[in-house]
């Protein structure tokens, strides 16, 4: 949670964009509590989903054969991207 809230994009959103959508002068304690109930699962859930996906990928790429295949596919995509950029 602290890592996510220390993210510059998160800080920019809460400090810069959020006040344009919410009138801070009319905010009550109940409104703040409701916003916390809405934002807490989002702020904590997205990094949790990333961690879960990374753990699943780690288990999937445990074999040398799968890791080699993934490296070849990634290399092919990078070469393809380079060719597209070079031809433009």
**Coil, helix or strand for 28?**
coil
At residue 75, the pLDDT reads 97
Whose CA is closest to 4, among 55, 45, 56, 34?
45
**Residue 1 scores a pLDDT above 70:** no
- For 10-67, the pLDDT digits (tens) are 778 777 877 888 888 888 999 889 988 988 888 788 888 999 999 998 888 888 999 9
| Domain residue extents for the chain | 2-62
């Amino acid at each position: 949670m602290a890592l996510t809230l220390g993210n510059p994009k998160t800080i920019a959103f809460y400090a810069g964009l959020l006040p344009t959508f919410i009138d801070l002068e009319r905010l009550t304690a109940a409104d703040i509590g409701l916003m916390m109930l809405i934002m807490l699962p989002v702020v904590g859930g997205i990094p949790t989903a990333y961690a879960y996906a990374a753990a699943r990928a780690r288990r999937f790429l445990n074999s040398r054969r799968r890791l080699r295949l993934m490296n070849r596919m990634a290399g092919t995509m990078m070469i393809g991207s380079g060719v597209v950029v070079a031809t433009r």
